Amino acid sequence: MKNKIGLLFGSFNPVHNGHLIIANYILQYEDLDEILLVVSPQNPFKTEEQMLDESNRYRMVELALNGNEKIKPCDIELKMGTPSYTINTLEKLIKENANNEYILIIGSDNQDDLDKWKDYEKIFSLVDIFVYPRYGYKPKKFNNHNRIKQVSAPLIEMSSSFIRNSVKQGKDIRYFVPDAVFEEISRNNYYK
Protein backbone atom coordinates (compact mmCIF):
# COMPACT_ATOMS: atom_id res chain seq x y z
CA MET A 1 0.00 0.00 0.00
CA LYS A 2 1.31 3.44 -0.96
CA ASN A 3 2.00 6.14 1.59
CA LYS A 4 -0.32 9.12 1.13
CA ILE A 5 1.75 12.30 1.29
CA GLY A 6 0.22 15.76 1.28
CA LEU A 7 2.23 18.56 -0.31
CA LEU A 8 1.71 22.09 0.96
CA PHE A 9 3.82 24.44 -1.19
CA GLY A 10 4.70 27.96 -0.15
CA SER A 11 7.36 30.58 0.20
CA PHE A 12 6.73 30.45 3.97
CA ASN A 13 7.96 34.03 4.30
CA PRO A 14 7.57 33.38 7.23
CA VAL A 15 5.85 30.15 8.21
CA HIS A 16 3.03 30.91 10.66
CA ASN A 17 0.51 29.11 12.85
CA GLY A 18 -2.12 29.22 10.09
CA HIS A 19 0.09 27.03 7.88
CA LEU A 20 0.57 24.58 10.73
CA ILE A 21 -3.12 24.45 11.67
CA ILE A 22 -4.10 23.70 8.06
CA ALA A 23 -1.38 21.05 7.68
CA ASN A 24 -2.28 19.36 10.96
CA TYR A 25 -6.02 19.45 10.23
CA ILE A 26 -5.57 17.83 6.81
CA LEU A 27 -3.16 15.26 8.27
CA GLN A 28 -5.59 14.32 11.05
CA TYR A 29 -8.90 14.42 9.18
CA GLU A 30 -8.07 13.42 5.60
CA ASP A 31 -6.34 10.09 6.19
CA LEU A 32 -2.86 11.10 5.10
CA ASP A 33 0.34 9.49 6.36
CA GLU A 34 2.48 12.60 6.19
CA ILE A 35 2.54 16.22 5.02
CA LEU A 36 5.53 17.97 3.51
CA LEU A 37 5.84 21.75 3.71
CA VAL A 38 7.58 22.36 0.39
CA VAL A 39 9.58 25.58 0.62
CA SER A 40 9.53 27.31 -2.76
CA PRO A 41 12.36 29.57 -3.88
CA GLN A 42 10.06 31.69 -6.03
CA ASN A 43 6.36 31.73 -6.87
CA PRO A 44 6.08 32.45 -10.62
CA PHE A 45 2.92 34.49 -9.93
CA LYS A 46 4.33 36.64 -7.11
CA THR A 47 6.94 39.33 -6.80
CA GLU A 48 7.26 39.41 -3.04
CA GLU A 49 8.77 42.28 -1.16
CA GLN A 50 10.98 41.39 1.79
CA MET A 51 11.56 37.85 0.53
CA LEU A 52 14.05 36.31 2.91
CA ASP A 53 16.79 34.13 1.56
CA GLU A 54 15.50 30.60 0.95
CA SER A 55 17.86 29.05 3.50
CA ASN A 56 16.47 31.35 6.22
CA ARG A 57 12.87 30.53 5.27
CA TYR A 58 13.65 26.81 5.23
CA ARG A 59 15.35 27.13 8.64
CA MET A 60 12.21 28.75 10.09
CA VAL A 61 10.07 25.87 8.74
CA GLU A 62 12.46 23.41 10.40
CA LEU A 63 12.21 25.34 13.66
CA ALA A 64 8.42 25.51 13.43
CA LEU A 65 8.07 21.76 12.92
CA ASN A 66 10.64 20.92 15.58
CA GLY A 67 11.22 17.32 14.51
CA ASN A 68 7.54 16.48 13.91
CA GLU A 69 7.42 12.93 12.52
CA LYS A 70 4.32 13.50 10.38
CA ILE A 71 4.67 17.10 9.16
CA LYS A 72 8.12 17.72 7.72
CA PRO A 73 10.03 20.42 5.86
CA CYS A 74 10.94 19.68 2.26
CA ASP A 75 13.68 21.47 0.32
CA ILE A 76 13.29 19.72 -3.05
CA GLU A 77 12.39 22.95 -4.86
CA LEU A 78 15.39 24.74 -3.38
CA LYS A 79 17.59 22.23 -5.20
CA MET A 80 15.81 22.72 -8.53
CA GLY A 81 16.06 25.63 -10.96
CA THR A 82 13.99 28.81 -10.71
CA PRO A 83 11.32 29.70 -11.26
CA SER A 84 9.84 26.64 -9.61
CA TYR A 85 6.82 25.01 -11.21
CA THR A 86 4.60 22.57 -9.34
CA ILE A 87 4.50 20.13 -12.27
CA ASN A 88 8.30 19.78 -12.29
CA THR A 89 8.39 19.14 -8.56
CA LEU A 90 5.57 16.60 -8.74
CA GLU A 91 7.24 14.70 -11.58
CA LYS A 92 10.54 14.59 -9.68
CA LEU A 93 8.88 13.40 -6.45
CA ILE A 94 6.86 10.73 -8.24
CA LYS A 95 9.89 9.49 -10.19
CA GLU A 96 12.06 9.28 -7.06
CA ASN A 97 9.37 7.88 -4.73
CA ALA A 98 7.20 5.42 -6.62
CA ASN A 99 5.79 4.01 -3.35
CA ASN A 100 4.13 7.30 -2.45
CA GLU A 101 0.82 8.75 -3.55
CA TYR A 102 0.96 12.55 -3.52
CA ILE A 103 -1.89 14.95 -2.79
CA LEU A 104 -1.49 18.62 -3.63
CA ILE A 105 -2.87 20.96 -0.94
CA ILE A 106 -3.90 24.46 -2.02
CA GLY A 107 -5.98 27.32 -0.67
CA SER A 108 -9.29 28.21 -2.28
CA ASP A 109 -7.64 31.45 -3.45
CA ASN A 110 -5.60 29.35 -5.91
CA GLN A 111 -8.33 27.06 -7.29
CA ASP A 112 -9.71 29.43 -9.94
CA ASP A 113 -6.19 30.04 -11.27
CA LEU A 114 -5.18 26.40 -11.69
CA ASP A 115 -5.59 26.70 -15.46
CA LYS A 116 -2.80 29.32 -15.41
CA TRP A 117 -0.35 26.86 -13.84
CA LYS A 118 2.25 25.28 -16.10
CA ASP A 119 0.90 21.97 -17.50
CA TYR A 120 -2.12 22.08 -15.19
CA GLU A 121 -3.87 19.23 -17.04
CA LYS A 122 -0.88 17.03 -16.33
CA ILE A 123 -1.05 18.00 -12.64
CA PHE A 124 -4.65 16.76 -12.63
CA SER A 125 -3.51 13.48 -14.21
CA LEU A 126 -0.88 12.93 -11.52
CA VAL A 127 -2.44 13.94 -8.20
CA ASP A 128 -5.61 14.66 -6.29
CA ILE A 129 -5.94 18.23 -5.05
CA PHE A 130 -7.27 19.09 -1.61
CA VAL A 131 -8.55 22.66 -1.34
CA TYR A 132 -8.81 24.35 2.06
CA PRO A 133 -10.95 27.48 2.58
CA ARG A 134 -9.47 30.97 2.51
CA TYR A 135 -11.44 33.97 3.73
CA GLY A 136 -13.20 35.81 0.90
CA TYR A 137 -12.62 33.16 -1.79
CA LYS A 138 -15.38 30.99 -3.19
CA PRO A 139 -13.96 29.19 -6.23
CA LYS A 140 -16.04 29.15 -9.39
CA LYS A 141 -13.86 26.95 -11.61
CA PHE A 142 -13.06 23.25 -11.27
CA ASN A 143 -15.66 22.69 -8.52
CA ASN A 144 -16.90 19.49 -10.15
CA HIS A 145 -13.50 18.15 -11.17
CA ASN A 146 -13.08 14.56 -9.98
CA ARG A 147 -9.51 15.22 -8.75
CA ILE A 148 -10.50 18.16 -6.51
CA LYS A 149 -11.77 17.74 -2.98
CA GLN A 150 -12.96 20.65 -0.86
CA VAL A 151 -11.63 20.15 2.67
CA SER A 152 -13.66 21.62 5.52
CA ALA A 153 -10.57 22.81 7.39
CA PRO A 154 -10.86 25.72 9.81
CA LEU A 155 -10.95 29.12 8.16
CA ILE A 156 -7.70 30.77 9.26
CA GLU A 157 -7.36 34.45 8.40
CA MET A 158 -3.60 34.71 8.67
CA SER A 159 -1.01 35.42 6.02
CA SER A 160 2.74 35.80 5.82
CA SER A 161 2.31 39.32 4.43
CA PHE A 162 0.27 40.21 7.55
CA ILE A 163 3.11 38.89 9.72
CA ARG A 164 5.74 40.85 7.77
CA ASN A 165 3.70 44.06 7.92
CA SER A 166 3.09 43.58 11.64
CA VAL A 167 6.82 43.23 12.30
CA LYS A 168 7.51 46.31 10.18
CA GLN A 169 4.98 48.27 12.27
CA GLY A 170 6.61 47.12 15.51
CA LYS A 171 3.69 44.87 16.53
CA ASP A 172 4.15 41.78 18.69
CA ILE A 173 3.69 38.66 16.54
CA ARG A 174 4.41 36.27 19.41
CA TYR A 175 1.18 34.23 19.11
CA PHE A 176 0.94 34.32 15.30
CA VAL A 177 4.03 32.18 14.75
CA PRO A 178 5.58 29.27 16.66
CA ASP A 179 7.85 30.36 19.53
CA ALA A 180 11.04 29.24 17.77
CA VAL A 181 10.08 31.22 14.65
CA PHE A 182 9.29 34.29 16.77
CA GLU A 183 12.74 34.01 18.37
CA GLU A 184 14.45 33.58 14.98
CA ILE A 185 12.68 36.61 13.50
CA SER A 186 13.45 38.73 16.59
CA ARG A 187 17.08 37.63 16.90
CA ASN A 188 17.84 38.34 13.23
CA ASN A 189 15.69 41.46 12.84
CA TYR A 190 13.85 39.92 9.88
CA TYR A 191 11.15 42.00 8.14
CA LYS A 192 12.05 45.29 9.91
In angstroms, the Cα distances linking 28 to 23, 58, 75, 122, 162 are 9, 24, 23, 28, 27
Tens of each residue's pLDDT in the chain, 192 residues: 889 999 999 999 999 999 999 999 999 999 999 999 999 996 555 565 678 999 999 999 999 999 899 999 999 999 998 888 999 999 999 999 999 999 999 999 999 999 999 999 999 999 999 999 988 888 889 888 899 999 999 888 899 999 999 999 999 999 999 999 999 999 999 999
CA distances from 185 to 47, 64, 96, 167 (A): 21, 12, 34, 9
- Rounded-to-integer distance, Cα 101 and Cα 3, Å: 6
Pick the closest to residue 13 from 31, 39, 44 (CA basis).
39
7 contacts 104 by C-beta, under 8 angstroms: yes
CA angle 16, 29, 89 (to 5 degrees): 60
Q: In the CATH hierarchy, which top-level class contains the domain 3-160?
A: alpha beta
**0.85 surpassed by pTM:** yes
Helix/strand/coil for 158: coil
